[in-house]
Amino acid sequence: MENKIATPSATKKILREHNLSLKKSLGQNFLVDSNIIDIITSASAIDGDEFIIEIGPGIGSLTQAVLEKLTSGKLLAVEKDAAMVEVLKDIFAEEKKLTLLNQDALKINWKEIAAEYNSENRKIKLIANLPYYVTTPIIMGVLESEIELEQLVFMVQKEVGERICAGPETKKFGSLSVAVQYHMQPEIVHQVPSSVFIPQPDVDSVIVSLSPYAENIYQEEIVNKEFFFQIVKSIFQQRRKTLRNSLSKSAVINLDRDLVTKALEDEGIGLKKRGEKLSIFEMISISNRIYKMTK
């Protein structure tokens, strides 16, 4: 069905009719291209019966597309701007599948939200086109909440999307790549030019999809999660240094240089190797070994 919101003229009309001025502080750049919206909903593979969380619905261009795909499922849209929520109430007044929540997604307890609004235990999917400066903390907040997620599809600044998906031995591989990949498998689904937004942002975007692993071996292997992420942070805080130096001179954890040397030798890792060249499995293995040595 034709998207009645995602065109430049329809978006301008809605903004005018509701006397809305866009808030730069909330990153209000609206999608006005139905092809991009189709790509987001296709990547979400909506079967119709899910519990979908949309963060930052704005005036509802994605919201409309998701609602069209839902049959028995439900959509919970979380929007921080009360003025936008009023517009959404108006546009979707008849829509029984939609619940609107006027809240800051950064402050939400997702476990409580899932328990309250998804009591029927539908598969949970998340969809979002958010201001770029809050996308990473919001997505990490959802991942860390440990609600069981079937799929996440979100728009993000190109640079951030590339960092999320990066692998070892690349410049973009870093703490964010490991933090996301620890939970789910990321993939860049589509490159998005800034011309599909009103107003146009200064940067290009990508659509990122996160899917669950068939079996999350990372989570199974790690002996102590907190310690593992301290090791990861130490490695990438001083990514130009050798692994031995970045671990023994870390500002995050206090590790004895001899202990680090012994751990690396036992792992069969050259002392001059840089941490950024390690795979996530190698980081897990070193972290587990050092953790056990310090206990």
Judged by CB under 6 A, which of 48, 106, 112, 272 binds ligand SAM?
Answer: 106
In whole angstroms, how close is the CB of 97 to ligand SAM at the nearest point? 17
User: What span, in angstroms and rounded, lies between the C-alpha atoms of 56 and 130?
Assistant: 6
Radius of gyration from C-alpha coordinates of the chain: 22
Give the count of residues interacting with ligand SAM (CB under 6 A): 24
Shortest distance, position 234 Cβ to ligand SAM, whole Å: 30
Considering beta carbons, is residue 19 or 254 the nearer one to ligand SAM? 19
Using CB under 6 A, pick the residue from 46, 113, 131, 288 that binds ligand SAM. 131
Considering only the stretches 98-106, 185-193, 212-220, 274-282, report the one whose residues sit in contact with ligand SAM under the rule CB under 6 A: 98-106
Burial label for 192, CB within 10 Å (0-12, 13-18, 19+), is: buried
Least gap, CB of 163 to ligand SAM (angstroms): 19
What separation, in Å, do the N-terminal and C-terminal C-alpha atoms of the chain show? 61
50 is a site residue for ligand SAM (CB under 6 A): no
Among the listed residues 3, 30, 241, 248, the single contact to ligand SAM using CB under 6 A: 30
Q: Does 105 bind ligand SAM (CB under 6 A)?
A: yes
Q: What is the DSSP string of 204-265?
A: -EEEEEEE--SS-HHHHH-S-HHHHHHHHHHHHHTTTSBHHHHHHT-SSS---HHHHHHHHH
Check residue 28 for interaction with ligand SAM (CB under 6 A): yes
Binding of ligand SAM by 79 (CB under 6 A): yes
Looking at the Cβ atoms of 58 and 275, the one nearer to ligand SAM is: 58
| Longest CA–CA separation in the chain, Å | 69
Rounded CA separation 42/258 (Å):
52
Binding residue for ligand SAM, selected from 43, 65, 66, 84, defined by CB under 6 A:
84
Examine residue 168 and tell whether it contacts ligand SAM (CB under 6 A). no
Q: Where does the chain have alpha helices with state H?
A: 8-17, 34-43, 61-69, 82-91, 110-117, 132-144, 158-165, 175-181, 217-221, 225-237, 243-248, 257-267, 280-294
CB of 126 to ligand SAM, least distance (A): 12
Would you count residue 104 as binding ligand SAM (CB under 6 A)?
yes
- Give the C-alpha separation, 155 to 49, whole Å: 23
Closest CA to 60 of 95, 108, 109: 95
Helix (H, G, I), strand (E, B) or coil at 138: helix
- Minimum CB separation from ligand SAM for residue 205, in Å? 9
Contact 290, 231 (CB under 8 A): yes
Residue 174 touches ligand SAM, criterion: CB under 6 A: no
Binding residue (CB under 6 A) for ligand SAM from 57, 174, 186, 275: 57
* 129 is a site residue for ligand SAM (CB under 6 A): yes
Footprint of ligand SAM (CB under 6 A)? 26-31, 55-58, 61-62, 78-81, 84, 104-106, 129-131, 134
